[in-house]
A and B are shown apart, each in its own frame.
Chain A
Amino acid sequence: MSSLTATQRLSIIREKGRPTVKDYIPALFNNFLELHGDRHFGDDAAIIGGVGMFDCTPVTVIAQVKGRNLEENKRSNFSMPHPEGYRKALRLAKQAEKFHRPVICFVDTPGAFCGIDAEKRGQGEAIARNLMEFMTLKTPILTIVLGEGGSGGALALAVCDELVMLENALYSVISPRGFASILWKDPTRESEAAELMKITAEDLLRFGVCEHIIEEPDGGAHRDPALMIENIAEYLTESLPRLCSVSTDEMLERRYEKFRRIGEFRDNS
Chain B
Amino acid sequence: MALEDLFKVVKDRSMADTKPKADPKQKKASPKVEIPKGLLFKCPRCGTVVYRDDFERNRSVCSACNYHARINFRERLEMTADKGTFTELDAGLTSVNPIDFPGYENKIAALQKECGLREAVVTGVCTIHRYKTVIGIMDSNFMMASMGSVVGEKITRAFEYATEHKLPVVLFTASGGARMQEGIISLMQMAKTSGAIARHSESGQLYVTVMTDPTTGGVTASFASLGDIIIAEPKVLIGFAGRRVIEGTIKQKLPDDFQSAEFMLENGFVDMIVERKVMRPTLSKIFRTHNYTRSEEYKGGAAL
Contacts and interface: CB of A to CB of B under 8 A. Distances in A.
Contact of A123 (B90, B190, B241): B241
Nearest to B187: A173
Interface in A82-129: 112, 114-116, 118-125, 127-129
A131 B180 contact: no
A183 interface: yes
Interface string B84-95: 000000111111
Contact of B92 (A151, A155, A267): A267
B221 interface: yes
A133 B221 CA distance: 13
Contact of A199 (B183, B218, B222): B183
Contacts of A260: 156, 192, 195-196
Contacts, number: 185
B249 A124 contact: no
A164 to B, nearest CB: 15
Interface residues of B, number: 61
For the complex of A and B, the 5 pairs showing the least CB-CB separation, nearest first, are A269-B92, A114-B241, A124-B220, A131-B194, A263-B149
A122 B149 contact: no
22 contacts: A112-B221, A114-B245, A115-B246, A115-B250, A116-B250, A123-B221, A127-B240, A128-B222, A128-B225, A131-B195, A152-B187, A155-B191, A173-B187, A174-B178, A183-B181, A199-B183, A262-B189, A264-B182, A265-B95, A266-B94, A267-B90, A267-B93
A115 B149 CA distance: 29
Provide the main secondary structure of the chain B interface. helix
Contacts of A56: none
Interface stretch (B15-23, B197-205, B278-286): B197-205
Given A114-B246, A122-B269, A152-B217, 15 more contacts: A114-B245, A119-B258, A129-B225, A152-B221, A159-B194, A172-B184, A173-B184, A173-B187, A196-B100, A262-B188, A264-B149, A265-B150, A266-B92, A266-B95, A269-B92
Nearest to A120: B267
A29 interface: no
A7 to B, nearest CB: 16
A256 B245 CA distance: 33
Contacts of B267: 120-122
Kindly name the residue among B185, B191, B246, B258 whose own CB sees the greatest number of chain A CB atoms within 10 A: B191
Interface in A195-245: 196-199, 203-204, 207, 209
Nearest to B194: A131
A124 B188 contact: no
B221 A124 contact: yes
Interface string A137-154: 000000000000001100
A135 interface: yes
Given A114-B249, A118-B241, A135-B195, A269 B98 contact: no
Nearest to A257: B195
B300 interface: no
B111 interface: no
Contacts of B184: 171-173, 197-199, 203-204, 207, 209
B183 A173 contact: yes
B239 interface: yes
A116 B185 contact: no
B224 interface: yes
